[in-house]
Amino acid sequence: MKVLHTADWHIGQLFHGHDRTYEHQQFLYWLVQTIKDEQVGVLLISGDVFDQSNPSAAAVKMFYRFLNQATKANPHLQIIVTAGNHDSAPRLESPKPLLESSNIHIIGLIEKDEAGNIDYEKLIIPLKDQTGATKAWCLAIPFLRIGDYPVIPNADNPYAEGIAALYQQVYQHALAKKQNGQAIICMGHLHTQQAEITDLDTTERLIMGGVEHISPASFHEDINYVALGHIHKAQRIGGKEHIRYCGSPLPMSFSELHYKHQVLVFTLNEKGISSPQPIEVPLAIPLLRVPSTHSSLPDVLLALQQLPDTNGDPGFPPYLQVCVLLDGPEPSLRHQVEKASAGKHVRLTKIDSRYRNASAGATQEQPFSHDRLNELKPLDVFTRVYESKYNTPVPEAIQQLFNQVAQEVSQIQAT
């Protein structure tokens, strides 16, 4: 029985303001065909189906259309969906009673009894072959929020230790069900230690000072496969072949320019599982960086002018990132870039500006104390910030404008 692992679809996401409906739809069409071609029996979606907790009606319709098409492509297909941190767990679970009749299981919430005890049985799903025989047990664990996991008294890291305890306990419940020849796999939407992150992961994921990092040891060594979501780059964790992030199917930032997005497929057999194999996801809209390295503005404008024209092409042009190296602030930068790229077969998405570091060897100043900061005049603060960012003295004209604004503010405060 083949299992396909995917995660982090983020349906409804905007890429620097650009709608991605076409890209998501192309991915889902491809996924349905892949399920059919690979004869996939189990589909695991490890969180972040949607990009927002309140997705649009169009995004929801796209997801349920996919479920319908996937189950038609393989009537014996089992689909297990867990909620991610971007998903609304109650909203994702709302059609659960109806979908379970089609072998579609959605786990968003950690259910508890009146005494506050976790109902671990609700997190354990049997994986059956076409004859109805149970081949494996899936620990379907969604993104865990405060209150979802056990409280560990005197824990050094209550979050990480609580999540580890939940995984250990749900494994013990599954072990009581397991029979000879049956495997145990689990799902998770979390940030593990040693995970390699992308630009978007850096800005979005590291929100708890590192305490959210979960040790790979949290997953029992006898678990055959750990299907993870949350980090957007496909990778093994802890050097283990069976602990995997599949990564996002669509690029989430320009740092993924040369990165091949994928899903993972493995086979359940009597010995456990086969080695997971990646299947590359076709890129519906490519990323383009011009120039390839940060260059002077004249060189950038020349490179943009040499791009191919649209010539009435109705297709979806590449997303364009422009990389420019400046000596100082350039107020007309966007206008010049837009003018140079007008009529070209690209979609201007991002201008990444950097400034020449004339003082690269200089020692970085220490932060000011609160008392020292209070002693500085507004112009002193502005000058330090300007010089720190642009590595050049503040032009006299800008100083005069700043003094004028500061004087007007002082007059308003005085009245």
To which H or E segment does residue 412 belong?
helix 396-414
Domain endpoint, select from 233, 250, 280: 280
Whose structure tokens read 């609700």? Answer: 122
Last residue in a domain, options 233, 262, 280: 280
CB 268 within 8 A of CB 1: yes
pLDDT at residue 297, rounded to an integer: 96
Beta pairing class for 319-326 and 347-355:
parallel
Are 157 and 229 part of one and the same domain?
A: yes
In the prediction, which pLDDT does 97 show?
84
Q: Collect contacts of 93-100 with beta carbons under 8 A, ≥24 apart.
A: 95/64, 99/67
- What total number of domains does the chain contain? 3
What's the pTM value of the predicted model, to 2 decimals? 0.86
Which of 312, 330, 355 is the endpoint of a domain?
355
- CATH number of the domain bearing residue 227: 3.60.21.10
Shared domain for 275 and 295, answered yes or no, is no
- Strands 262-269 and 272-273 come out as antiparallel
pLDDT, position 87: 96
For residue 286, say if its preceding peptide bond is cis, omega within 30 degrees of 0.
no
CA–CA gap between residue 290 and residue 324 (Å, rounded): 9
Contacts within 8 Å (CB) and 24+ apart, 202-210: 205/230, 205/231, 208/159
> In terms of domains, do 90 and 238 share one?
yes
For residue 364, is it within any domain? Answer: no
Q: Decide: 71 and 103 in contact? Cβ < 8 Å.
A: yes
The answer on 192 and 228 residing in a single domain is yes
Note whether residue 360 is domain-resident.
Answer: no
Residue entry with tokens 């060189």: 299
> How far is residue 253's CA from residue 17's CA, in Å, rounded to a whole number?
12
**Cβ(280)–Cβ(262) below 8 Å:** yes
- Residues 350 and 383 occupy one common structural domain: no
Do residues 124 and 147 share a domain? yes
Separation CA 242–CA 377 (nearest Å): 59
Q: Where are the alpha helices (DSSP H) in 137-224?
A: 158-177, 199-204
Q: Which of the 8 DSSP states describes residue 118?
A: B
Total H helices, total E strands in the chain: 11, 20
Residue that the structure tokens 């580890």 belong to: 164
Give residue 285's identity as a one-letter amino acid code.
I
83 in a structural domain: yes
- Single-letter residue type at 211: V
Owning domain of residue 178:
2-280
Q: What is the pLDDT along the chain (415 residues), one digit of tens a residue?
A: 999 999 999 999 999 999 999 999 999 999 999 999 999 999 999 999 999 999 999 999 999 999 999 999 999 999 999 999 999 999 999 998 888 778 999 999 999 999 999 999 999 999 999 899 999 999 999 999 999 999 999 888 999 999 999 999 999 999 999 999 899 999 999 999 888 886 655 555 444 445 678 999 999 999 999 999 999 999 999 889 999 999 999 999 999 988 999 999 999 887 788 999 999 999 999 999 999 999 999 999 999 999 999 987 778 999 999 999 998 888 899 999 999 999 999 999 999 999 886 444 444 555 666 666 667 778 888 888 887 777 778 888 888 888 889 888 888 877 7
Estimate the crossing angle of helix 297-305 against helix 333-341, to 10 degrees. Answer: 20
Q: Locate all alpha helices (DSSP H) within 12-132, ordered by sequence.
A: 21-37, 57-73, 89-93, 96-99
Query: Per the domain annotation, does 43 fall within a domain?
Result: yes
Strands (E) located in 297-364: 319-326, 347-355
Q: Does 337 share its domain with 224?
A: no
Give first-to-last CA distance, the chain, whole Å.
77
What is the Cα–Cα distance from 98 to 105, expressed in whole angstroms?
A: 10
What's residue 358's pLDDT?
Answer: 47
